[in-house]
Amino acid sequence: MSTNKADKFKSLMRSPSGNQENKEEIILPTEIAKSPAHELVQISGKKKATFELDAELHRWLKVHALTINKDMVQILEEVLRKYRTETERK
Amino acid sequence: MGIVISFGIQKGGVGKTTACAITAHLLSKEARVLAIDFDSQGNLTEFLTRRDIYDFTKQTILEAIQEKNPTPYIVRITDNLDLIPAEDILSTFSRWLYRDYKGDATQALRKTIDMVKDRYDYILIDLPPNLGDQTINGLTASDFAVVILQSEPFCYSALERYLETLTVVQQRTNERLALAGILIAMSDGRAGIDNSIVDKAKDEYGPMVFDSIIKRRSRIKEFVLEGIQDSTKFDQGVLESYIGFVEELKQRVNQ
């Protein structure tokens, strides 16, 4: 069986435990970057950034973001802005 | 809390609305179901109500979103099946979204659905056949996506592009979105091309493809006029593949 396409989209499938597989993978394939939907999200003034985040920290952030009804990115942006202000003050 | 499932693909006339309507009908035999027509063609509205879509002017999903209150727009179809209708005016959704809506333009439908989510076991959304604000909003509001694949070449090429769209939505606007599966519909077992596309889809996408395959049946068209019938053996046979699909769907979304 050819599994190229099944592999490409495996992050869309949910594992028996209810979790989506391969959720840490956030790198966009070039094909996705061409899709009209991607263009739609590009107009929001955001820039894509890819990080390897500590797994435990990532888990906490995910749960915390859900608890306070915010996006993970919103929290990271707030923390980074605070850090920037403090750093620039020194 | 209701499980939200959307039916879509960027290709028209492939059986999305029919699959959505019959799935809603079958699920409602044992669960509370809300069907949302999110396509301005209003075919789901016509299918489930067997009424003219203009009977629902100013009583549609567009008004429900604009007023942030879906309750007055819910139409009772049977004891367990409700519908929020659509008609042509839904085509102004994008204009309203960017001119008047204050908030994240991808989340308008999700916020509306959230208000009634706890009243249903399943909420099904029939999406339009194009990629735009309605599809993005529909997918952003969904827990699961059913992708319809008609076994013909144009639809096959649309399949991969639609899955890419799901990936982008999952990464950008709705982290919990998952693919329920690819449903092969309107397949003609006598046509060689149909069979080779079915084989290719199963080969390339493996378990993402539902085992049940919906065959092209002319009786289905009559259901639009008569309503979905299941009292005769013949009609039960027509619905058999849909029943198989719904069983698979329930297993996948309730894992």
Q: CA-based angle A17:B179:B223, to the nearest 5?
A: 120
B200 in contact with A, Cβ within 8 Å:
no
Nearest to B70 by CA among B25, B34, B106: B34
**Inter-axis angle of helices B233-253 and B16-27, to 10 degrees?**
90
Interface membership of B10 toward A (CB under 8 Å): no
Cβ contact B164–A41 (<8 Å): no
Distance CA A39, CA A50 (A): 18
ipTM: 0.71
**Average pLDDT of the residues in B53-65:** 95
The neighbour count for residue A14, using CB atoms within 10 Å, is 19
Q: Which residues contact B152 (CB under 8 A, 6 or more apart)?
A: B193, B194, B197
Question: What is the number of structural domains in chain B?
Answer: 1
Q: Percent of chain B beyond pLDDT 90?
A: 65
pLDDT score for A25: 35
User: B154 lies in which domain range?
Assistant: 3-253
Instruction: Please state which of the ranges A36-40, B28-32, B208-212 shows the lowest mean pLDDT.
Output: A36-40
Distance from CA of B28 to the nearest CA of A (A): 24
The residue-averaged pLDDT of A34-62 equals 70
In this prediction, residue B248 has a pLDDT band, given cuts at 50, 70 and 90, of: very high
The CA radius of gyration of chain A, in Å to the nearest whole number, is: 17
- Say which range, B97-101, B104-108, B230-234, has the weakest mean pLDDT: B230-234
Separation in Å, CA of B146 to nearest CA in chain A: 11
Q: Which helix (H) or strand (E) holds B122?
A: strand B122-126
- Output DSSP code: residue A28: P
Q: Which residue intervals of B55-132 are DSSP H helices?
A: 61-66, 93-99, 108-114
Cβ distance B179 to A12 less than 8 Å, yes or no, reads yes
Q: Which of residues 7-36 of A touch B (CB under 8 A)?
A: 8-9, 11-14, 16, 18, 20, 26, 28-29, 31-32, 35-36
Of residues A5, A11, A35, nearest to B170 (C-beta): A11
Cα torsion at B9, B88, A40, A61 (round to 10°)? -80
Identity of residue B123: I
Token pair recorded at residue B115: 């208000």
The reply to whether residue A41 touches residue B172, judged by beta carbons under 8 angstroms, is: yes
pLDDT at A16: 52
Task: Please give the Cα distance from B137 to B185 (Å, whole number).
Answer: 24
- Asked if B130 has any chain A CB less than 8 Å from its own CB, the reply is no
Note whether B208 contacts A6, CB cutoff 8 Å.
yes
Per-residue pLDDT of B191-213, as tens digits, reads: 667 677 888 888 889 899 999 98
Beta bridge partners of B150: B185
Predicted confidence (pLDDT) at residue A31 exceeds the cutoff of 90:
no
Write out the two tokens for A15: 């594992």
Residues of A in contact with B161 (CB under 8 A): 35
Q: How far apart are CA A77 and CA B226, in angstroms?
A: 56
Residue type, B215: K
Query: Is residue A75 pLDDT above 60, yes or no?
Result: yes
Q: How confident is the model at residue A14 (pLDDT cuts 50, 70, 90)?
A: confident
Beta bridge partners, B5, equal B124, B144
Q: What is the pLDDT of residue B37?
A: 97
Where residue A24 falls among pLDDT bands split at 50, 70, 90? very low
Nearest to B28 by CA among B84, B81, B82: B81
Give residue A26's pLDDT: 39
Tell me if B131 and A37 make a contact (CB, 8 A cut-off): yes
Give CA–CA dist A44/B98, Å, rounded. Answer: 13
- Phi and psi at A48, nearest 5°, equal -75, 135
Whether residue B28 is predicted with pLDDT greater than 70 in this model: the reply is yes
A-chain residues near B165 (CB < 8 A): 35-37
Closest CA to B2 of B139, B106, B115: B115
More confident: B151 or B141: B141
Q: Is beta strand B33-37 parallel, antiparallel or unpaired with respect to B75-76? A: unpaired
A16 or B63, greater pLDDT: B63
CATH of the domain at B74: 3.40.50.300
Q: For residue A41, is pLDDT > 70?
A: no
User: Under an 8 A CB cutoff, do B203 and A2 touch?
Assistant: yes
Arithmetic mean of pLDDT, B10-34? 92
Between β-strands B81-84 and B33-37, what pairing exists: parallel, antiparallel or unpaired? parallel
